[in-house]
Chains A and B, each alone.
Chain A
Amino acid sequence: MSVGNKKDLVIKDLHKGFIVNNEEIDILTDINLNVAEGEFLSIVGHSGCGKSTLLKIIAGLVDYSVGMVTFGGGEIRKPGTDRGMVFQEHRLLPWLTVTENIDFGLYNITKEQKEAIIAEHIELVGLKGFENAYPHQLSGGMAQRAAMARALVNKPQVLLLDEPFGALDALTRIMMQKEILRIWKKEKMTMILVTHDIDEAIYLGDRVVVMSSRPGKIRKILPVELERPRDRSNVEFANIRKVIFSEFFADEKQYLDYAI
């Protein structure tokens, strides 16, 4: 019985603990989440282990023993080229040029095909002209773009982003948020982005998952039914922001109003 080709990500009853100093510490508890194909999902919460660990489990970098994580019906246990990941640090290999870094995971295709795919992705992330630059010659934003190109070059179905713009200055961050939306629209893939920036989560996501940490738990999932490009000063936007804000700062509890 085939489980169908739909590339949905299903997380059911996921628990994850680490052993630190002979004690078991719960990092994630009761995670139940369905991510639809092509969706942009934001996960917002304090900086720390839970959210990143969840992403790494989806990426296949971290193992889990309680619960089930499947993608397109198949269990996720190891990394695979169907899932790409971008980290807060660009993690470009300093001894390789931008082109060589993007080439990193490309196998089983001819040289011409490689050159074409790399050129296509360099263009996609807006790094034309920097093919032969070394990472230390790039600015933070540019290096992150190169990291994205590297993650996208194998055409994954899911792109995982772990606080990808956290290391950038605020202005570059906003620009990169627009860039990632552009890439998302063009490539039509599923994106899951983890951030501690509430505004970023609302600006980018179709839905926002609000997570508490220690242990990591899903508190709320909010749909963001605003047209893109979104206006951060829009009333609706601000309302959603208030609701999420109040999840983290309980003494300022607010309720969603509908004003006419």
Chain B
Amino acid sequence: MKGVELKIAMKLKTLKNVINYISFPILILIIWEIVVRLKIVPLMILPSIESIADTFIDEATSGQLLADVTISLRRVMEGYLIAVVLGISFGVFMGISSRVNKFFSLVFDGIRQIPPMAWIPLLILWFGIGETSKVVIIVKSAFFPILLNTMSGIKNTPKDYIEVAMLHNITKFDLFRKVYFPAAIPSIFVGLRLGLGVSWTVVVAAELIAATSGIGYRISDARSLMRADLVIVGMIVIGAVGVLMDNALTNISKHMIRWQKA
């Protein structure tokens, strides 16, 4: 008898938890529907949930959504990968050698303090509103989280391991390959995740300002057409893609750090 009672009690607890999680979102949706039904706010400003769903299906089936997202993703991938290569390389050298660190620090800090968006006008002057300016802004934005976290990871390599390495007279290359770099990988992945998130944010912002394609452009265009439903669909898609990319990266990082205790 006790076993059955325990199972029922546990199931009730789970049910209570689930209800707790979803009650607020459902409440918001209910209020949303009421506001729309009672026409408290013009439909142009707050579209109905139904119209958003319809628009989403339209855009998805027409392939427009996919095309937009693909264009934005392509920009992100270009910029992000360049930022990854540059960020990790500089991060490693600046982490290992304080001389190299000091050499680059003033200029890098200067560039870093100026927000990405403030760079856009200059980049447009230099590269126009084509692909290059967007990729550059993504590189600039993603580079710094990756750089700083890589540097931090390298610098925080436990001195204990370095002492062991000194005892064994290992080569400089092995010191990097077997000690510094693996020790830095958790931090590097933090930087990679931040950099990816930032890239995605920045590409949308850049497209809002200076683009003729991509999901950010699509939202801006929708706004000018007074299509709040399309704007919201775009926002949801942007959020979803961001979450998916972050999850993918997290899974990769978990796999790479599988030597760490749970």
Binding site for B on A (CB under 8 A): 59-61, 79-81, 83-85, 87, 89, 91, 93-96, 104-105, 107, 134, 136, 150-151, 154
Contacts and interface: CB of A to CB of B under 8 A. Distances in A.
A181 to B, nearest CB: 23
Contacts of A94: 259-260
Contact of A61 (B163, B178, B185): B163
Interface string B168-182: 111100000011001
Given A61-B167, A105-B169, A96 B160 contact: no
Given A89-B160, A93-B182, A95-B182, A79 B167 contact: yes
B164 interface: yes
B181 to A, nearest CB: 10
29 contacts: A61-B163, A61-B166, A80-B169, A81-B168, A81-B169, A84-B167, A85-B167, A87-B163, A87-B164, A89-B160, A91-B164, A93-B161, A93-B164, A93-B179, A94-B260, A95-B182, A95-B185, A96-B178, A104-B164, A104-B165, A104-B170, A104-B178, A105-B168, A107-B170, A136-B260, A136-B261, A150-B164, A150-B168, A151-B167
B94 to A, nearest CB: 23
Interface in B141-167: 160-161, 163-167
Contacts of A81: 168-169
Contacts of B163: 61, 87, 91
Is chain A's interface secondary structure helix, strand, loop, or mixed overall?
loop
Nearest to A136: B261
Contacts of A95: 182, 185, 259
Nearest to A160: B167
Contacts of A134: 259
Nearest to A137: B261
Contacts of B170: 104-105, 107
Contacts of B261: 136
A136 B182 CA distance: 16
Nearest to A147: B164
Contacts of B171: 107
Most chain A CB within 10 A, of B166, B168, B169, is at B168
A151 B163 CA distance: 12
Nearest to B262: A136
Most chain B CB within 10 A, of A84, A104, A134, A150, is at A104
Contacts of A151: 167
Contacts of B166: 61, 79
Given A95-B182, A96-B178, A136-B259, A154 B168 contact: yes
Contacts of B260: 94, 136
Contacts of B178: 93, 96, 104
